[in-house]
Amino acid sequence: MQELHSEEVKEAAKYLIRYCGEFTEFVAEKASGSYIYDKKGNAVLDFTSGQMCSVFGHNHPKIVELLETSGGKAIHLLSSILSPPVIDLAKKLSSELPESLSKCIFVNTGSESNEVAIRMAKLVTGGFEIIGFSGSWHGMTAGAQSYTYSKTRKGYGPTIPGSLMIPAPYEYRCPIAHCKGTCDNTCLEVGMRMVDQQSVGRYAALIAEPLLSAAGMIELKPDYVKRLKELCDERGLLLIFDEAQTALGRLGKTFAFEWYDVVPDFITLSKTLGGGLPLAATVTTEEIEAKCHELGFVYMTSHVSDPFCASMGLVAFDILHSEDLSEKAIENGAYLKQQLLELQEKHECIGDVRGMGLLLGVEIVKDRETKIPDDDLGMNICDRCLVLGLNMNIVRMKGYGSVFRIAPPLTITKAEIDLGISILDQAIQDCV
């Protein structure tokens, strides 16, 4: 049993803006590997890798070492001044990607990296209409939020003009009440026809995660993506893959789009690129970059091309490859998914288990026949897991039910997976 820190959190709430609902009743003093610890040393197994960012585990030794050594060099520079870490990371990232994706910019967050891609897409196409998926999450800044179709939209006034949406291919709950468990891409065809009717003829781009996380862990299958790219090409839409959560090994390859026979026009990286530090990147083609430059492209922020954070990206690739973490994501992801499927057989409240690699979803329902989502039970299980020593992340959005987003570090061991599964099992038994 973990000690919760309700009074301490209540005291903190007097001074902090509550930016994510209520704060979790656990105050972390430190973190290491797959665990977070309070000031008394009580350990909680972290099945979320922080905010899905500590993909190599908390405080990986190579990252800690770099923090110590890089701090004595340049931390921050004028935006127009380059540094060896920025140049080296640009070379490294380009070498990891298909030849066409060769031009990089380094910023801080996923929101920013998507802003850069959207800004460039609008400039190079001359259009302003951006298509996103239902339930998607691409960031909290004005542009990225406009093409984010999750629960974060209501109450903040108008979004940027040209925000269009198509239904996500949610196999468990077909968005057009057509498919029975297996998507046949009808939702894509219908969705594109609907945005065509809404469009004023100024298309710029379509933005998508290879696996839609906040939407409920919805995987885009290879045949779906192939058709998606064809439909984009027909309309002159540039394709942006937001790989905030899916890159650097989490789905079993360095980049998730490598599972497809499709190369996007832009790829945006964040969360996993910095291994827990604020580093993000936008990568595009030489042709797009050259045209944007010709048209006077500008994107300057206080921390673009910061050398300190760029050095973390170099270490991230070192860790990924030296420890064979993409392969481990496939192996341990399959092991974890099998364990979750066994829990599904045991507990009626688990309606569906989905995802790939070490990015998995578990949907909690009231009834498997009707698939009625059970948000309250999901949150109760989540809270109980924390008490028992497991940190979980659940998505609560009307129409999507309660979906656990399970994303442990790629360095997790089978013993730690077994521990997490046993805690989740007990939490469900305690709550149903």
Residue among 242, 265, 289, 363 flagged as catalytic:
242
The verdict on whether 242 is a catalytic residue reads yes
DSSP letters spanning 349-404: TEEEEEEETTEEEEEEEEETTTTEE-HHHHHHHHHHHHHHTEE--EEEETTTEEEE
In angstroms, the CA 245 to CA 224 distance is 20
- For tokens 């949907």, the residue is 363
Residue among 271, 354, 366, 384 flagged as catalytic:
271
Q: Answer for the pair 329, 249: CB distance below 8 angstroms, yes or no.
A: yes
Q: Answer for the pair 53, 250: CB distance below 8 angstroms, yes or no.
A: no
In angstroms, the CA 22 to CA 379 distance is 12
In angstroms, the CA 239 to CA 82 distance is 29
Q: What are phi and psi of 371, to 5 degrees?
A: 60, 30
Residue among 38, 129, 229, 245 flagged as catalytic:
245
Residue among 112, 209, 243, 352 flagged as catalytic:
209
The verdict on whether 209 is a catalytic residue reads yes
Q: Answer for the pair 247, 269: CB distance below 8 angstroms, yes or no.
A: yes
Mode of pairing for the β-strands spanning 129-133 and 203-208: parallel
Q: Which two tokens stand for residue 121?
A: 């897409």
Bridge partners for 164 per DSSP: 131
Using the 8-state DSSP alphabet, how is residue 345 labeled?
A: H
Q: Answer for the pair 378, 193: CB distance below 8 angstroms, yes or no.
A: no
Mode of pairing for the β-strands spanning 394-397 and 350-356: unpaired
Using the 8-state DSSP alphabet, how is residue 304 labeled?
A: T
- For tokens 């057009």, the residue is 176
Residue among 2, 122, 137, 253 flagged as catalytic:
137
Element at 107 (helix H, strand E): strand 101-107
- CA angle, 59 as apex, 54 and 61 as ends, to 5°? 120
In angstroms, the CA 348 to CA 302 distance is 51
Q: Answer for the pair 153, 182: CB distance below 8 angstroms, yes or no.
A: no
Would you tell me how many other CB atoms lie within 10 Å of the CB of residue 188?
A: 20
In angstroms, the CA 266 to CA 101 distance is 7
Q: Answer for the pair 378, 364: CB distance below 8 angstroms, yes or no.
A: yes
Catalytic residues: 137, 209, 242, 245, 271, 405
